A and B are shown apart, each in its own frame.
Chain A
Amino acid sequence: MKIDPITTEVIASRLGEIASAMEYALYHSGYSPILRESKDGTAGLTDASGRAVILSGGLQYHLLSYEQAVQEVRRRYPASVMRPGDSFVVNDPYLAGNAHAPDMAAVTPAFHSDGTLIGFGVSIAHKADIGGIVAGSSGAAAREIFHDGLLLPAVRFQTAAGIEEAVEAIIRNNSRVPDMVLGDIRAQVGCTRLGAERLADLCSEFSADVVKSSMDGLITVTSQRLRDDLVSWPDASGEAEGFLDHDGADKSKRVRIHVRAEKRGDKITLDLSGCDPQTVGPVNLISTTARAVSLLALVATVDPTIRVNAGLMDAVDFIIPSGRVVSPIRPATVNHYFPTAHLVYSCVLAALGRVNPACAVAPSGLGSGGVSIGYACSRAGKPAVLYELMVTSLGGTTARDGAAIVHSMSHFTPSTPIEILETEYPVRIRRFDIRRDSAGAGRFRGGIGYIREYEVLEDCVMTVRSSNHSNPAWGVHGGQSPMPSRVTLNPGTPDQALLDPIVTRQLRRGDVLRFEQSGGGGFGIPQERADASVLADVLNGYVSPEAAQRLYGRTVAGATIVPRTSAGASS
């Protein structure tokens, strides 16, 4: 197929515009703070078969869930019964491939004026509560997916005549905050309808054939670009493994993620069969998302400017037997999937770095997560939940230190400013500091981690959802591991206690919760780091003089450094 290098680029800009208009509508018409402010969602377009052409938003690993959600809709609503004006919702991870039950998928078909199906407007976004054993529908005590709340198969939510009252009633009856959730679903469905309409308009402007062939072209181009780059890689294989501290149910046992990558010609095989069996606790990762984060790791390694769309799939064969922690069988619970997804991403990066050492980078720190602190009474006099996300930092690369304090792989919206937090909640932030020596040492070190301390000023219930307090990320090419993330209750007092990564606790007024977040992994041998960089790190407080001595083999006294000797360089 001959791809028009100009029209395809023009259509790509226009599809990008539609996706960002959908995203804008999603965030600005949503009802709940989680949608309006956290931006925990994506919106985009697929072709008629469901292949994702473009996604807008920070969670690009929704890529393959779009396709599965569309296919689930088409399975239940074949062409004969799907009509212009219809919109559908589905949130069962085992049907639609969404990462967990609160991530609702909305799907609206786009029909050209002549009645042909062009594609779909799709959005996946987090819902505040869809039932289950705890508020928020992500209970640490969940042992099967039914504990995570309402599981909708693909159902018709809206027709040209309006919203299906029965479906709304079912959802309403299954949420602790029904107004908020229904407000958000309407916004989300609305944004997919907008996307479908705009896609149809684009067909009127350019012709359906031009739009369809451009969508095909964009998918082909992504696949072709990935394969072209892979051809230049050596034919080789590599393995990597990493561990979660435990599954949340059996705290005595680590959970293993293992990836074997093998590159032949212009294709890669990713074999995840070495991962542990699915777990009883909620750390399972639906295989659709496991594959999607693996594809993102591949793009990250090959070239991050490749357009992310369904074309990525063509270059990869997956081996993922079912029943693993990365391919659970219903009814395993999946609500705490994120640390597993992050670990799979990191392991794929590592395995690919072994296939092609020239492309190796150190991983970001593990142990990102969140904390929620529930008060019976906020400053405004109402029950309130303070919710904050914790991030880590990126790893070192062949040319640079890792960036500090970012999510790798995906992003949500930043946490709340300290001055707003203290104004709205009975809490005092005692520290928000850089965490010295938390970055993995290396010729290029990881980004620095941080410390954040909360003093609660009223009794409250606190839930920590983190991971990898005992199993940090690793260094690459001689670089070192970063310090692991950890959470301490009342540090420096007689009742100081290290907390588990997944824990719920009652806190008393005056209790202090300290989060120490992991830095990124180190790249290359630390002794080879430039004198000036080691000195700057010590002066800036990123590295202690002791660590400069112990890890980098350098003596820093005052504002001067004893330069690296030739013996130091070769050791």
Chain B
Amino acid sequence: VLSTVPGSFRDPANRVYAFAGSSDGREDVSIYRGVNQQALEYYRDLAQAPFFKSLLENGRVVSTEETVSGEIFDAVRKDGWAGVLQHEPVPFITYPYEWTFGMLKDAALLHLDILETSLESGWTLKDATPYNIQWINARPVFIDIPSFEPWEKGTPWVGYRQFCSMFLTPLMLRSHLNIDHLPLLRSYLDGIAPTEALKFFQGRNRFKKGVMAHLSLPAKVEASIQKKERDDVEVQKRSTRSHSKAMVVGLVQSLQRLVRKLKIDIAHTDWSHYDRTHSYSDGEHELKKAFVEKAIKARSRKFVWDIGCNTGTFSRIAAAHADLVLSLDGDHDAVEQLYLKEKKEANSKILPTVMNLANISPNHGWAGEERAALDNRRSPDLVLVLALIHHMRISANIPTSMFLSWLRKFDAEIVIEFVTRKDEMVVKLLTHKAEQYEDYNVEQFSSECEELFEIKDRKILKGGKREIFHLLPKI
């Protein structure tokens, strides 16, 4: 089945298609791109350029080849495209509002490095959105090939404003003011406009690195244009002043230096030091690890989710037996720690993601389809839900039956740890709560599990304070 990818309609020069087929009884997705005549000609020139070949070899740009025949070629051409490119599929699509500070920073540097290299070779990138970057495990990859265009002498860096709104501003908000940039990126899908962003920077904060040049100045210029040209005043011509290559490359390089300098401190949150502060004794923790490992090893796993991953202790166990592990947690700093470790691993199989599991990324953007909800993307074949259920029930007020129904829709095996009322972490959660969640007990939990799953294995841990289950979906 060939279908268009909903998030790819904005650039009129091309459109992305997904082809879902099957090989060896497994579903396989191939990614194609229909391109117009000009984009096709640009691609053919680009494919010969040494700088582009080197970007491909280093894995900084997604592997791409032109397709010139076949059923899919014919089908895409029928939609009116002059040519067809095939890309290496990205294992799992994520969005910038799910990335940690470090991930957004590395994506920004990848964009700038590619742009700098391109400019030195007479090419440019026509836009600057982080949606053009995806992750192959813990490594960022640039995926929007038609964004490469020959640089016309005298033209400015056209993606500058977009780069600032979508990369630099959220990074500065987090680094300079410790403002959580993720909810902002989730709402402002086109980035945070300088006039809006500047409202966060008051007083002395306006003198922090990069704020004057990349927020105050653009905000001032934009406000003055708005003021001068509002109502029925005709739009004035903008300066057509020629931009030398030194101006364009110099600006790109100054942003590289600025982005490299932006840093955050990882706070000590409940989860950011989980591997040292968890409530298990060493022996009991080993029993839990052994149970999880046995369940994972029972079959070959293509795609595992570790929801509530903390700093990824169990994601690493899963990664030893799976093709890819998506590690999700709502605690930014815990996920950041995981990312910083994984990016150093040459063969990491972990994709870290920040996600509040009581409020997952929704379907949104144009027609509610442009950006897919977390549970509307590729499904896992195994989900680890370790020491999470008490937070879903007691902190987020989500009935366990509803949480289990949500898990059931993935048709995946589940390894879930139930934290009983006797456990000190649940005692802590209930201490100041008026509602005492009498329905929250292991008997009710296991009977709710049995309505949707078959309990393949279970084990009591921590002297009866916790119990871990391996569940198989009931057909």
Asked whether A and B interact, the reply is: no
Residues of A within 8 A of B (CB): none
Residues of B within 8 A of A (CB): none
